Structure 1
Amino acid sequence: MNPQNKVLFAGDPHGNFKPLIAAVHKYKPEAVVLLGDYDLDIPLEVCLQEIVGLTQIWWIAGNHDFETPSKHKHLFDSALADKGLHLKVTEIAGLRIAGLGGIFLGRVWYPPQQPKWRGKQHYLHNQPVNSRHMAMSLKYKGAIWHDEFEALKTLRADILVTHEAPGSHRHGFDVISELAAAMGVKNIFHGHLHENYAGMVKNNIKVVGVADRAVADLMGNTLMNGS
């Protein structure tokens, strides 16, 4: 196996997993990391049943995965629920990979503005008494919260995978570049913006944007340009 293919990164499938499945059969990676926006109408493991057992499957969530209770359930209650990388560092194929799912939400935190809420508890404690017992809405669950983001900065990793883009993209966020620098990562892979590109942010951290349904290798080469 080519070492740069030992981990592959899959851009937003939006319900079409065929390019990822084809890439696994062709390149035989040790692991794949999915970058969000699955638009699931069946559980994730069913969509990927052709490659379950052939490779490790890891993921972060995107904004689409919080759009409806059904999409959320098919990811977070799936047989692959424990393969989520959000807010932690996991050793995968000998690499420390950190995950940051979700998106910045104006009513929670939209950098470079200051966060409206320090964290989920701060938000919940400031809701009307008669609604505090209610579950947090999916939209809020899919937000990036400031306190969790700051806690991630204290960890160390080789690679950071995000749904949102860092400052290398015109629609990206410098705080993600700063997060990567604080964690000592060498590479960032992100989805969300449906564009294959390579960029650079502070500390010579290489950024790879992976387009929807595309698959990239560890060097940032596009192996599959999904259709």
Structure 2
Amino acid sequence: MNPKHKILFAGDPHGDFKPLIAAVHQYKPEAVVLLGDYDLEMPLEVCLQDIVGLTQIWWIAGNHDFETPSKHKHLFDSALADKGLHLKVTEIAGLRIAGLGGIFLGRVWYPPQQPKWRNKQHYLHNQPAHTRHTAMSLKYKGAIWHDEFEALKTLKADILVTHEAPGAHRHGFDVIGELAAAMGVKNIFHGHLHENYAAIVKNNIKVVGVADRAVADLMGNCLVPPLSGLV
């Protein structure tokens, strides 16, 4: 196996997993990391049944994965639920990979603005009394929370995978590059914005954007071309 193919990164599938499945059969990676927005109509392991057992499957969530209870359930209650990388560092194929799922939400935290809430408990405590003890909505569950983001900064990793883009992209956020620098990361791979590109941010960190339905290798090479889709 070509070393640059030992981990593949899959851009937003939006329900179409065929390009990723084809890439796994062709390149035989040790692991694949999915970058969010699955639009699942069935559990994730069912969508990926052709490659379950052939490679390790890891993932972070995107904004679409919090749109409806069924999309959320098919990911977070799937047989691959324990393969989520959000807010932790996991050794995968010999590399430490950190994950940051979800998106910045103006009602929670939208950098460079200050966060609206210190943490989830602060938010819930300030809700009206009749709603204070109800479950947090999916939209808020899919947000990036400032305190959790800061806690991730204290860990060390080789690669950071995110749904949101860092400041290298015109629609990205500088704080993601700052997170990567604090963690000692060398590479960032992200989805969400449906563009294949490579750039460099501070500390010589390489950023690779992976388009919808596209698949990239460790060097940032696009192995499967993208198709048009929804953000």
- Assess same fold via TM > 0.5: yes
Deviations 1:45-67 (A, max 9, x none): 00000000000000000000000
Q: 1:120 & 1:211 partners in 2: Cα distance?
A: 31
Q: d(CA) in 2 for partners of 1:118 and 1:214?
A: 36
Deviation of 1:132 after TM superposition, in Å, equals 1.2
Superposed CA offset, 1:113-141 (max 9, x none): 00000110110111112211100000000
Moved more, 152-161 or 127-136: 127-136
Contact 1:214/1:225 (<8 A) preserved: no
CA RMSD after TM alignment: 1.2
Mapped to 1, the partners of 2:228 and 2:136 lie a distance apart of 37
SS at match of 2:64: helix
Moved more, 202-211 or 117-126: 117-126
User: 2: distance between equivalents of 1:197 and 1:141?
Assistant: 29
Structure 2 counterpart SS, 1:130:
coil
Deviations, residues 170-217 of structure 1 (Å, cap 9, x unaligned): 000000000000000000000000000000111000000000000000
What is the aligned residue count?
Answer: 226
Q: Offset of 1:219 from its aligned partner?
A: 0.1
Match of 1:192 in 2: 192
SS of 2:148's partner is helix
State the shift of 1:225 in Å: 10
1:153 corresponds to 2:177: no
Which consecutive unaligned segments of at least 5 residues does structure 2 have? none
**Does 2:96 correspond to 1:96?**
yes
Q: Distance in 2 between matches of 1:122 and 1:200?
A: 36
Secondary structure of 2:91's aligned partner: strand
| Separation of aligned partners in 1, 2:151 and 2:8 | 27
Q: Deviations over 1:86-109 (max 9, x none)?
A: 000000000000000000000000
Would you say 1:225 and 2:221 are equivalent positions? no
- SS at 1:181's partner residue? helix
Checking the alignment, whether the CA contact within 8 Å between 1:89 and 1:97 is kept in structure 2 is yes
Q: CA, structure 1 residues 225+3, in 2 after alignment: closer, same or farther (shift >3 Å)?
A: farther
- Structure 2: how far apart are the matches of 1:117 and 1:170? 26
Query: After superposition, where does 1:1-227 map in structure 2 within 5 Å?
Result: 1-223=1-223
Q: Secondary structure at the match of 2:130?
A: helix
Contact 1:15–1:39 (8 Å) recurs in 2:
yes
In 2, the alpha carbon distance for the partners of 1:51 and 1:20 equals 9
Mean Cα displacement is larger for which, 123-132 or 27-36?
123-132
3-state SS in 1 of match to 2:90: strand
Aligned-partner Cα distance in 2 for 1:28–1:126: 50
How far apart are 1:36 and its partner, in Å? 0.0
Query: Can you give the 5+ residue segments of structure 1 that lack an aligned partner in the other structure?
Result: none
Contact 1:215 1:225 in 2 (8 A): no
Report Cα offsets for 1:6-33 as digits up to 9, x if no partner. Answer: 0000000000000000000000000000
User: Displacement of 1:82 after TM fit?
Assistant: 0.1
| Separation (CA, whole Å) in 2 of partners of 1:131 and 1:193 | 34
Misfit runs of 4+, over 2 Å: none
TM-score, scaled to structure 2: 0.97
